[in-house]
Structure 1
């Protein structure tokens, strides 16, 4: 155990789990806390649909670590695989089994092997690894019902490989659902709604569009801030590793930049005067930042749906397509309004470009 940089206790504190990260591989070790004939750990939510590593002893007393793909609850559903393991060891001291092995983060599979289950057994250090365990009296090459475990974990534990910690899986779906809905209100309704109000309602009254946009933007920023704080508190920390988090942080940063940029707006030139260089730079920066916020915000929503599906193994394709359809409806509406304006020629001199916070 002294050879490994990180260690945690798995569910029910019956198995100690150790690991050390390298550039392209990871070294694992597992030790049972009570006597058994074999020790197994698995990567997955539960035994079914998990990749298992079994430490056991053959008839000659030689320690082995074999790999399996499990797709059912019977002995016939435990399928041997051929993973590229190195530095394999399995020993028993007074009936306490310890097994060790090193494996690459991504399986070394050729094109002909891509369809094999073990080729999908990828370990991503930036993503929590879900680990389960099992013990039994005896293991053998010829699997029968007698090989089934006599003790096993009641639930998986999420192991944070880069942080060296672990936590029992909580069902955060209600939290993430609220987070997703609030962000949809912010990035999918309030923000684009405010921008469209500023562009297409100016002809009603001089300040109607700008006031509508300001109200929507203020609500959008408050909603993002509250929802962001809520999500960080519930998830017990901010881990800027996934694409979804990076996109969300970028969108929030750009959104906060817009009102500051609006305060720095140069004075408009008098009638007949040319726009100064500072004014041109301000307009371009405001337009680029504003459009970027909308695009990045939409991308954050889509990657958030993907992240939710990967975290809980749920099918989110319908929700994703519904979100895409919502964006397409908004795009068609904008195209229609632009076409109508060009047809009627109803563009006042105060009508500016499509900007955010203008």
Structure 2
């Protein structure tokens, strides 16, 4: 069946706004930061060490300082290496939690990182060892200390009771495979059980704890900055498309078709909201798929699965508009039951998944309160119209039964 052309088409300026948003996001996907002077704002500044570069890392309140000594050539073995002093500080998880800092010669990911992991024992003694972080570590295999190809000298770890930070100090000789202009830093914090480091928390701030840095200039690009704009676009488009337009389309069909209020343009408005909501929401869903593919070493399974179900149900709802039986057709009753049941289920799943996404992203509280306000307004409208429907229904029934 061919759909009538909606008389209430989405505002052209609104579509332009969405396109402009996506273009600006693509233009802003790379954000750089630079190192600063090592003043008293850093936990390791009171150690009395001469540190030439310092910077606040993007997550976990971590700090990083370094001295870059340049390349050193080992003539007897005919090889060269890069000499670097590193200072890394972060607050551990609990009094005996661990902190870790490492380098990945390939990409800014956990798997493949050569790390220094340290923690404080309950008796006050300190522990600092080298570790190879592999894909098996991500899968939950027990982490054990091991030798790494990076030569580590003068390693030490200290704890500051004033700041609550653990500080890892070491001098590294980096092999040639480590490009100092694009050095992949990875850091992390977690808990300790029976003197063994446990898996860190599954939050974005943990997964985003990586940067690519130029040791000579101090400029860096973080994973968090690179994905921040895509995550924001994913959230905004999902809330506008799935979370706003789709429910408004359902409200239009439920309360303005014939009863309690008859609105002749209800169907074009319903179709416009459903199709525009589907297109905008699907755009957010595609960005979500991209975010999932960019996060090879972690995923949010429930949020992802709900998203796939929402996209599938929404596609079925839109396709159902094109095969809607004509008025008077025997199959119209069954089509209506299917369309309504799937639509209400879809709205419930959308609401749950948007809240799940907000809890994953953990943005400013205004995001959560704004969406809660939107849900509250829509719920108030639905409840008000439902009450009005029943009042009008009861009055009409009484009038029909009068002698």
TM-score by length of structure 2 reads 0.48
What's the CA shift string for 1:201-234, capped at 9, x where partnerless? 2246675111111011111111123333345457
Deviation at 1:292, TM superposition (A): 1.6
| Alpha-carbon spacing, 1:108–1:33, altered in 2? closer, same or farther (3 Å) | closer
| Alpha-carbon spacing, 1:184–1:29, altered in 2? closer, same or farther (3 Å) | farther
From 133, 136, 147, give the equivalent of 1:19: 133
| Alpha-carbon spacing, 1:30–1:211, altered in 2? closer, same or farther (3 Å) | farther
Pairing 1:250–2:329 present? no
2:241 paired residue number? 186
Contact 2:249 2:270 in 1 (8 A): yes
Deviation at 1:191, TM superposition (A): 0.8
1:241 paired residue number? 299
| Alpha-carbon spacing, 1:106–1:292, altered in 2? closer, same or farther (3 Å) | farther
2:200 paired residue number? 122
Deviation at 1:93, TM superposition (A): 12
From 294, 319, 341, give the equivalent of 1:260: 319
2:266 paired residue number? 209
| Alpha-carbon spacing, 1:93–1:194, altered in 2? closer, same or farther (3 Å) | closer
Distance in 2 of aligned mates of 1:37 and 1:337: 73
| Alpha-carbon spacing, 1:123–1:251, altered in 2? closer, same or farther (3 Å) | same
What's the CA shift string for 1:43-99, capped at 9, x where partnerless? xxxxxxxxxxxxx5xxxxxxxxx8x8x7xxx5754567xxxxxxxxxxx99999xxx
From 36, 56, 62, give the equivalent of 2:153: 36
* SS at structure 2 position matched to 1:36: strand
What's the CA shift string for 1:292-338, capped at 9, x where partnerless? 211111222212222222xxxx5x33421231122122111111111
Cα RMSD, aligned residues only: 5.0
What's the CA shift string for 1:129-150, capped at 9, x where partnerless? 62589xxxxxxxxxxxxxxxxx
| Alpha-carbon spacing, 1:94–1:257, altered in 2? closer, same or farther (3 Å) | closer
* SS at structure 1 position matched to 2:286: helix
* SS at structure 1 position matched to 2:299: coil
Deviation at 1:178, TM superposition (A): 2.7
Distance in 2 of aligned mates of 1:123 and 1:182: 28
What's the CA shift string for 1:240-276, capped at 9, x where partnerless? 9313333222211110011333445556657xxxx67
2:255 paired residue number? 200
* Within-5 A mapping of 1:266-305: 279-280=333-334, 282-305=335-358
Q: Structure 2: where are the runs of 5+ without partners?
A: 1-103, 116-131, 176-189, 397-403
How many aligned residue pairs are there? 250
* SS at structure 1 position matched to 2:305: helix
Contact 1:34 1:95 in 2 (8 A): yes
Contact 1:244 1:304 in 2 (8 A): yes
Distance in 2 of aligned mates of 1:254 and 1:228: 13
Deviation at 1:190, TM superposition (A): 0.9
Q: Structure 1: where are the runs of 5+ without partners?
A: 1-6, 39-55, 57-65, 81-91, 97-104, 110-117, 134-150, 158-167, 349-358
Distance in 2 of aligned mates of 1:210 and 1:237: 40
Pairing 1:325–2:369 present? no
* SS at structure 2 position matched to 1:304: helix
Contact 2:285 2:307 in 1 (8 A): no
